[in-house]
Copies of this chain bind each other. A is one copy, B any other.
Amino acid sequence: MARTSAVRPEEIRRHNLGLLLGEIHRRGELTRAELTTLLGLNRSTIGGLVSDLVSLGMVTEYVPAGRDRAGRPSYVVAPRPDGPYVLAVEIDVERIVSAAVGLGGTVHARRETPIEGDGRTPDAVTGQIACDADWIAGRLPASSVLIGVGVSVPGTVGRENGVIEHGPNLEWRGVPLADLLSARLGAQLDVQVGNDADLGALAEHLRGAAVGLDNVIFVNGSVGVGGGIIADGNQLRGVGGYAGEIGHIMLNPDGPPCHCGSNGCIETYIGEHALLRAAGIDRHGPEEVAGVFASAQQGDRRAVAAVHTVATWLGRTLATLVNVFNPQAIIVGGSLAEVLRLERATIEREIDARAMSASRSSVQVLTPGLGVESSLIGASELAFQSMLAAPDLFPVAIELAQSRV
């Protein structure tokens, strides 16, 4: 991955500072010796970088107790438990989950609020998030400082501006969510907004089922079907931030109408509405979907057939993704994870029959390592990105944030 700009010597320290903090953040506590090996820098450089991070209030150093006193002790560097934290928020159709997440990925406090009807307007949702943020801040040590906010949304999100271009199930169009939330939480606070499938992919790549894998697809399937794609370690975003709409790969030009305006999109074959329709159920909701899976497990003929049909189309979809992306892993999340659990053989058989052999042989199909929390954890990682890129810039941001929230 070639950098396309010139490197100036003064950038090196910042780059290396961010790299060291990133290792601590992802791996948890590490000895100085381990950091030396991981970063390929010498001991004194590592010592200097660690001192900087200690002064910034981000990490703490200690000599492990009970250690053999004969050798030179290797200091352990750990995230400070009362150090900076981010607010991670997952907006779903039925609920809002908010959590304070510290360096190292530790969840310090968490709150879940159901929403319905009127509560789904942008105004009501941002109001609720502000309440939850206050509630959470009250449960943390006084020295903890909020350094950023990351929000996961079931919709397409503009790349630089945090505008929800379209969230079909929230019925949002052109909602400037980042700006609305900044106005509620403090104008100086960095608010980042991402698509739920993109953030699921990010989290599974950094902390879940795809750690160490650089070519990964996260398929997030519930009412809608979205995809988050990591290619050579980088998130596939597209020019405007709208890439990954794998639910809108066209299968059949004369197929069922799709909310996107086209017909026969993959979503109309593997989304929850297709499952419920195949099972002969008219109402649409999480309970009904759970009911179909429960009936299928109990051997109900119609439910079994419905899950089988969705699994067949899911396998065909995954074969297409294997051919287009040649990934190491496809992680199937949302309610489609249950389809994978119930009908893995059907899905694998379709991939075997339809994916090109070279790409087929290197892909695994997995359920999420982070359970149903992938998008929430992804939101926290999104919020940490600015600080991990330039830790030395954050004392300023810290004071501003502290005065507002």
Contacts and interface: CB of A to CB of B under 8 A. Distances in A.
Interface of A: 1-9, 11-12, 15-16, 18-19, 39-41, 156, 165-166, 214-215, 227, 231-234, 236-246, 248-253, 260-263, 316, 319-320, 323-328, 353-359, 362, 389
A325 to B, nearest CB: 5
A362 B325 CA distance: 23
A323 B249 contact: yes
Nearest to A215: B239
A326 B358 CA distance: 27
Contact of A39 (B6, B165, B355): B6
Most central of A9, A244, A319, A326 by chain B CB within 10 Å = A326
B233 A232 contact: no
A98 to B, nearest CB: 27
13 contacts: A2-B18, A2-B389, A4-B19, A6-B40, A7-B16, A8-B41, A12-B12, A215-B243, A231-B236, A236-B236, A240-B358, A248-B324, A250-B354
A327 B242 CA distance: 9
Contacts of A249: 249, 320, 323-324
Given A231-B231, A245-B356, A262-B354, 12 more contacts: A6-B15, A9-B9, A156-B356, A234-B234, A238-B359, A240-B359, A241-B326, A244-B324, A245-B359, A248-B323, A248-B324, A250-B354
Given A3-B1, A16-B7, A237 B326 contact: yes
A328 B250 CA distance: 20
A82 B355 CA distance: 47
B324 A156 contact: no
Contacts of A239: 214-215, 326-328, 362
Nearest to A252: B252
Contacts of A324: 227, 243-246, 248-249, 324
A77 B392 CA distance: 39
A50 to B, nearest CB: 14
Nearest to A245: B323
A226 to B, nearest CB: 11
A134 B233 CA distance: 41
Contacts of A232: 234, 236-237
A275 to B, nearest CB: 18
A139 B325 CA distance: 42
